[in-house]
Amino acid sequence: MGNLYMLVGGILGLFPMTIRNFIGPLVALPCRIYQHKINEALKPLFTERMEYLKTPPKENPDEPEDHFQMILRFAQKERPEELNIKDIGTRLVLANFGSFHQTAIAATNVLLNILHSNKQYNTIAVLRGEISDVLKEFNGVWSRAAVAKMIRCDSVLRETLRINAFGARNMVRKVMVDGLKTEDGKFSPWKRYRSTV
């Protein structure tokens, strides 16, 4: 679904806003169908979890503590009008879009970078050694403290994010007012975008 979002965004991005208003619904039709299928798959879980919402939070010990339940609890308290399968389904997909898409790209790059590193550094053996040493210290349990100790793994992850960063632009902002001027006198027209590289 995330890939579909990107595809639709890419296709519609080719057109100016005025045309997008007309072809948007058509191009995004696969998204609607996909979302419907996901909602259908989520429906049994949704009805099951709605039962837990009848008791106050933290009272039922059987209540699962996952993201879906957190979303439902928040919706129940703060956005009761969105407590339906369509809104919850879309929100879940969007939350996943943020977490999956970037992680999948980063994890792929990590793997490729490890395999691609120069032979004399022996990266795989070094990382394996570090992981087994740290895990021995923590009796084989992957905990936050254990992961925080794996500095070589951390270094690989950080370097990967630095070298293979995706999205070269940051802090994209839309100009919402007419005639915005920065402190050094640069003029930003209305409805344009500003970002840092």
Of 82-111, binders to other proteins (CB under 8 A) are: 90-101, 103-105, 107-108, 111
Distance CA 192, CA 180 (A): 11
Report the nearest approach of other proteins to the CB of residue 196 (Å).
12
Report the nearest approach of other proteins to the CB of residue 156 (Å).
15
Distance CA 81, CA 34 (A): 23
How many of the other CB atoms lie within 10 Å of CB of 27? Answer: 16
Distance CA 143, CA 93 (A): 28
Report the nearest approach of other proteins to the CB of residue 65 (Å).
5
Count of chain residues binding other proteins (CB under 8 A):
69
Of 134-193, binders to other proteins (CB under 8 A) are: 141-144, 171-177, 180, 193
| Pairing verdict, β 193-196 and 187-188 | unpaired
Report the nearest approach of other proteins to the CB of residue 152 (Å).
19
Using DSSP, state whether 100 is helix, strand or coil: helix
Buried b (16+ CB within 10 A) or exposed e, 121-154: eebeeebeebbeebbeeeeeeeeeebeebbeebe
Binding region for other proteins (CB under 8 A): 1-6, 8-9, 12-13, 17, 20, 24-25, 27-28, 31-32, 34-35, 37-38, 41-42, 45, 64-68, 70-71, 74, 78-79, 90-101, 103-105, 107-108, 111-112, 141-144, 171-177, 180, 193-195
